[in-house]
Amino acid sequence: MKMSMGNIARRVLGRRVLGLTVAGAALVTGGAAFAELGQPAPWQYNLQDAGSPVMENIIWFHSLLLTIITVITLFVLALLVIVMVKFNAKANPTPSKTTHHTLLEVAWTLIPVLILVAIAVPSFRLLFLELDVPKADVTIKATGKQWYWSYAYPDNGKFEFDSLMAADKQPRLLGVDNEMVVPVNKVIRVQTTGSDVIHSFAVPAFGVKIDAIPGRLNETWFKATKVGMYYGQCSELCGKDHAFMPIAVRVVNDQEFASWVETAKKKFASAPANSFASAADVAQ
Q: Does 199 bind Cu ion (CB under 5 A)?
A: yes
Q: Which is nearer to Cu ion, 140 or 234 (CB)?
A: 234
Smallest distance, Å, CB 236 to Cu ion?
6
DSSP 45: -
Span interacting with Cu ion, options 25-33, 131-139, 237-245, 247-255, rule CB under 5 A: 237-245
Site map for Cu ion, 155-184, x if CB under 5 A? ------------------------------
Peptide bond into 60 cis (omega under 30): no
Q: Is 159 in contact with 265 (CB distance < 8 Å)?
A: yes
Surface-to-core class of residue 78, CB atoms within 10 Å of its CB (0-12 exposed, 13-18 middle, 19+ buried): middle
Among 63-71, 103-111, 161-169, 226-234, the segment contacting Cu ion (CB under 5 A): 226-234
Nearer to Cu ion, 149 or 260 (CB): 149
Q: Which helix (H) or strand (E) holds 7?
A: helix 5-34
Please report, as residue ranges, which positions from 62 to 121 form the binding site for Cu ion (by CB under 5 A). Answer: none
For Cu ion, the closer CB: 186 or 242: 242
148/260 with CB nearer Cu ion: 148
Q: Which is nearer to Cu ion, 190 or 238 (CB)?
A: 238
CA pair distance 25, 29, nearest whole angstrom: 6
Q: Residue 160 or residue 236: which is nearer to Cu ion going by CB?
A: 236
Burial label for 145, CB within 10 Å (0-12, 13-18, 19+), is buried
* 250 lies in the binding site for Cu ion (CB under 5 A): no
Question: Cβ closer to Cu ion: 138 or 190?
Answer: 190
234 sits near Cu ion (criterion: CB under 5 A) = yes
**Rounded CA gap, 25 and 35, in Å?**
15
Nearer to Cu ion, 51 or 232 (CB): 232
Q: Which stretch binds Cu ion (CB under 5 A): 150-158, 175-183, 192-200, 262-270?
A: 192-200
Scanning 117-125, 128-136, 173-181, 195-203 for contacts with Cu ion by CB under 5 A, the matching segment is: 195-203
CB of 51 to Cu ion, least distance (A): 22
Burial class (CB within 10 angstroms; exposed 0-12, middle 13-18, buried 19+) of 140: buried
Residue 242 is given by DSSP the state G
* Residue 142 near Cu ion by CB under 5 A: no
Among 187, 130, 178, which Cα is nearest to 152's?
178
- What is the C-alpha to C-alpha distance for residues 23 and 26, in angstroms, rounded to an integer? 5
Judge contact between 254 and 137, C-beta under 8 A.
no
Instruction: Determine, following the binding rule CB under 5 A, whether residue 202 of this chain makes contact with Cu ion.
Output: no
Contacts of 136 (CB under 8 A, 6+ apart): 187, 188, 189, 221
The site that binds Cu ion (CB under 5 A) totals a number of residues, namely: 3
Q: Can you tell me which of 174, 181, 238, 249 binds Cu ion, judged by CB under 5 A?
A: 238
Q: Whole-number minimum distance, CB 147 to Cu ion, in Å?
A: 6
Name the site residues for Cu ion (rule: CB under 5 A). Answer: 199, 234, 238
